Structure 1
Amino acid sequence: MRTGERIGSGRSADVYTLVGDPGRVLRRYRDGTDATDEAALMARLAALGYPVPAVHLEDAPGPADLVMERLTGPTMLQALLTESAADDVGARAGATLAGLLHRLHALPGRIVHLDLHPDNVIFGPRGPVVIDWCNADTGPPGLDCAMSALILAQAAVGALPQARPVLAALLPQLDGTLETHLPAATARRAADRGAAQEAVLLDEAVALIHALRRVQPQISL
């Protein structure tokens, strides 16, 4: 297995093509983080019918590597930026995020993603697919929902105003436990070194969530 060109780069990992294998890519953590558990979780989620990229556990050349299906299509974030003129784009994105969260939390094992936001959803031929499971854990669904809401709110009060209608559409579809878990979500975001630039927006982001929750009906699930 030989890697080709680098086609993507995130906060902690790079994605490469595989020579002679156009249907798969290799994602490699730059600091050598072990991806074994993450790959195993993705394989489990796929077996349960949750939309994740197919992974190939046996083909990873090293512990920091993850060989997976190559997805085609824009991220939800890219769609928001290119389709922002459409009246219902934010509402559709919010509904999609809510559906993905509820589907995940309905699975056995109390799995939570903890970083489910528009840049971690890819729209492909088989619908929305969730990527980047490095923060995934087990825990209460309310914390997962609070994390997604807080990330969107930080974007909305910061450099991505397109996130506000997504957040406004998402919040009514989340139950009342969100408020219970919002302090823990805020603490996690404050401690996230990868989100240090957004940390100054936390107070404003929390205020936006509370404001939107007050003016919209909450759905008890």
Structure 2
Amino acid sequence: MTAGRDLIGTGSSADVWGIDDSRVLKLFHPGVIEIPVALEYAAASLASDIGVAVARPLARVEEEGRLGIIFERVTGPTMFAEMIRRPYRMWPLIRALARYQVALHGQVPGTVDVIPDMPTVMAHRIARSGAGRDVQARASMRLASLGTERRLCHGDLHPANIVLGETGLFAIDWSKAMIGSPAADAARTELLIRFGHGGQSGTPAPMRFARALTARWYRFCYSRLSGVKDSTIRAWHLPVAVAWYKGQADLRAAGLADYIDAIARERHIN
């Protein structure tokens, strides 16, 4: 299955193998069902069709019982890897991430069949959240009060899902894509920057402060570049955070549970 190929990346759900200079194969781990694979293929295809810079999907395949997608090959490091290697580039790169996301949200996708609607997905995730019934109820009420739009949203856009290609930024991993509100997608990215990849041992206080500051910088850049009000993005924090939190130890250690508790009771919104 992998003879003659180089393993060039691995993640929680898939391995990426180089086929040749122009193509790669994303081969999902055994047990991954068809729905997220079909969603990633459909969302990445739609993004490419409306002019967004992505690794364009070429074909769906199955090898030895594992589902896969063949993509155009985009060469370059991830934004996250570049930020680790050259920390002084972090804030310009975060601004570039915001600019990419604004461009994505500026495109109107037209008729969409496979990609789910954001309100439906988020309502389902909030109902299954580990945040507690009272907080779930507050998040559901907030979700219902917020308007929605029909724009393509990546759903998991953060520096590790951005490749710095030769011609610019390219988003990968579209398996959580939705059709919905750009402000919600921006709020999701902000919270990923702030609380993602925390580790079960927790995040030291100085790192928490740095990540919170970087997340605010992202929100400022997105708001400034898009014209979406800062308060509109912040209004999405509660439903987005509650939908994300299922009691994961790493997110609890990173401070997401405490943050949810605070914004649910409106002690602070930042």
Identify the residue that residue 137 of structure 1 maps to in structure 2: 178
Work out whether residues 90 and 165 of structure 1, in 8 Å CA contact, stay in contact via their aligned partners in 2.
Answer: no
TM-score, structure 1 normalization = 0.80
User: What aligned pairs does 1:54-133 form with structure 2 within 5 A after superposition?
Assistant: 54-57=56-59, 60-61=61-62, 64-84=67-87, 86=88, 89-109=89-109, 110-133=151-174
Identify the residue that residue 33 of structure 2 maps to in structure 1: 33
Question: 1:71–1:196: structure 2 CA closer, same or farther, 3 Å change rule?
Answer: farther
Question: 1:37–1:50: structure 2 CA closer, same or farther, 3 Å change rule?
Answer: same
Whole-Å Cα distance in 1 between the matches of residues 159 and 44 of structure 2?
Answer: 19
Work out whether residues 190 and 196 of structure 1, in 8 Å CA contact, stay in contact via their aligned partners in 2.
Answer: no
Q: Which moved more, 1:72-81 or 1:36-45?
A: 36-45
Structure 1 residue 158 corresponds to structure 2 residue 203: yes
Which of these residues, 51, 55, 58, is aligned with residue 49 of structure 1?
A: 51
Ranked by relative contact order (alpha carbons within 8 Å, sequence separation 6 or more), the top structure is: 2
Root-mean-square deviation over aligned CA pairs: 3.0
SS in 2 for 1:71: coil
Question: 1:128–1:182: structure 2 CA closer, same or farther, 3 Å change rule?
Answer: same
How far did 1:115 drift?
0.8
How far did 1:13 drift?
1.1
Whole-Å Cα distance in 2 between the matches of residues 51 and 213 of structure 1?
Answer: 33
Work out whether residues 154 and 205 of structure 1, in 8 Å CA contact, stay in contact via their aligned partners in 2.
Answer: no
TM-score, structure 2 normalization = 0.66
Work out whether residues 150 and 205 of structure 1, in 8 Å CA contact, stay in contact via their aligned partners in 2.
Answer: no
Question: 1:48–1:29: structure 2 CA closer, same or farther, 3 Å change rule?
Answer: same
Residue identity opposite 1:122 in structure 2 = V
Residue identity opposite 1:129 in structure 2 = F
Whole-Å Cα distance in 2 between the matches of residues 67 and 11 of structure 1?
Answer: 18
Residue identity opposite 1:25 in structure 2 = V
Work out whether residues 62 and 68 of structure 2, in 8 Å CA contact, stay in contact via their aligned partners in 1.
Answer: yes
How far did 1:163 drift?
4.0
Residue identity opposite 1:112 in structure 2 = C
Q: Deviations over 1:78-103 (max 9, x none)?
A: 1111111x2xx232122112112211
Work out whether residues 39 and 174 of structure 2, in 8 Å CA contact, stay in contact via their aligned partners in 1.
Answer: no
Structure 2: gaps (5+ residues)? 110-150, 224-228
**Identical positions, percent:** 24
Question: 1:205–1:132: structure 2 CA closer, same or farther, 3 Å change rule?
Answer: farther
Question: 1:70–1:199: structure 2 CA closer, same or farther, 3 Å change rule?
Answer: farther
Work out whether residues 6 and 16 of structure 1, in 8 Å CA contact, stay in contact via their aligned partners in 2.
Answer: yes
Structure 1 residue 199 corresponds to structure 2 residue 252: yes
Whole-Å Cα distance in 1 between the matches of residues 269 and 172 of structure 2?
Answer: 28
Whole-Å Cα distance in 2 between the matches of residues 33 and 199 of structure 1?
Answer: 28
Whole-Å Cα distance in 2 between the matches of residues 165 and 96 of structure 1?
Answer: 16
Whole-Å Cα distance in 2 between the matches of residues 199 and 111 of structure 1?
Answer: 29
Structure 1: gaps (5+ residues)? 215-221
How far did 1:164 drift?
4.6
Identify the residue that residue 167 of structure 1 maps to in structure 2: 215
Which of these residues, 230, 236, 256, is aligned with residue 181 of structure 1?
A: 236
Larger of the two Rg values belongs to structure: 2
Question: 1:124–1:163: structure 2 CA closer, same or farther, 3 Å change rule?
Answer: farther
Q: How many residues align?
A: 205
Identify the residue that residue 112 of structure 2 maps to in structure 1: none
Structure 1's consecutive aligned runs of 4 or more residues displaced over 3 angstroms after TM superposition are: 159-166, 203-208
How far did 1:49 drift?
1.1
